[in-house]
Amino acid sequence: MSNDNGLFNVTEKHLNTGLRGIPVGTCRTSFVTPTEGVHYCGYPISELANQSPEDVVYLLFNKELPTPAQSAAFKEDLAGRGHVPDSVAAVFHTLPKDGHPMDWLSVGIQTLGMLETTGDWKEDALNLIARMPRLMGLLFRIREGRGSDIPEDDLSATMVKRFARTLDLDGIDQDQMERILSTYLVLHMDHGGGNLSTFAGKAIASGHATVYSSISGAMNALSGPLHGRANQSCLEFVLRIGTSDPEQVEAFVRGELEAKRPVFGFGHAVLRAEDPRATVQFALGEVMCPDDENFKIIRTLREVAPRVLSENPKISNPNANVDIASGALLHYVGFKDPTYYTTFFGWARVAGIGAQIIDERTVMRDGKGTPIYRPKYIAEQQTLRHVE
């Protein structure tokens, strides 16, 4: 791009619209198209779904998929970074058990930063990624009252295996859990530069706050019901339906619309087709849990809701988005409490936000980095006056 290219004409109608659609920067890790959804470094997400989370982290940081040798070296590097100090668990033991898991996650990340921050953007981002599996496992166990006899962390294992080992749930098919979590992490790692949590994390980092402070702030942004917590709301919505009968599902959807309540799991700001991340998860569910009651409900919803929603000409995309299937799959493999679902989203997004922070701090503007964010706000309903 040349410096004098016109990209956007800003008018008064764009004020107070949350910067929606207004260009503010460039992104090297991902982009979204209306028909193929999110792409990581040019690869459509549907082509990456079966990659290991570690290899996709490598892609986001290096902009190329690793060779087998690079993959092995990167996994070994992450293993050397993964130790989580015992004092993190001690902090978790002091937190209120009824605090939302996303608040715990934010506190945990901030705690890691207080314990060790190198000041090197890439080093700190990779360290945090490597420590997330153990942090997540500790969060689950201690918040649920299982804070004793926690297995030692096996740093040589994959990120997902380390989390599962720390969690140490009984009666769980470990292979199924690990496959669903691996797919989930890959599908959720990045989504362009302008989503709220990513933008918030980069904005905080632009003031040269640490990676840990920046990503902790990003997790707070992710926790809202209009952003990351939508996947929690979606599973709660599915549980409320309680049946996969098409007529009853349609009646429920119409009832929600008449009551002016959202139909969770459908629609997307950019996409104009079914989200490929939803398509991937539906295919995974058909293999792993086709007879699961919640999966049968979302299968019916996938057919019914777009047809009902498309009756409203104001709805530009009535199709399924990524949230419709993820909760049902997580529930199937043992995560019965939907209040935890956004923490998985946060775990995944740490990689994409971290990679984008590195780019904005060390690559953009020929290595000078993006300046501190300072958008223009125009004064309204104010006139000059003086104290009498």
Q: What positions carry a catalytic annotation? A: 227, 268, 323
**Nearest by Cα to 163 from 148, 149, 174:** 174
Question: Which of 62, 57, 61, 63 lies closest to 75 in space, CA to CA?
Answer: 57
Exposure class string for 229-262: b at 16+ Cβ within 10 A, else e: bbbbbbbebbeebeebeeeebbebbeebbeeeee
Distance CA 264, CA 304 (A): 13
Q: What's the CA dihedral at 355, 268, 229, 153 to 10 degrees?
A: -40
Vertex 46 angle, CA 41 and 52, to 5°: 75
Cα separations in angstroms, 47 against 15, 82, 111, 271, 346: 38, 28, 36, 18, 22
DSSP 8-state secondary structure symbol assigned to residue 320 = B
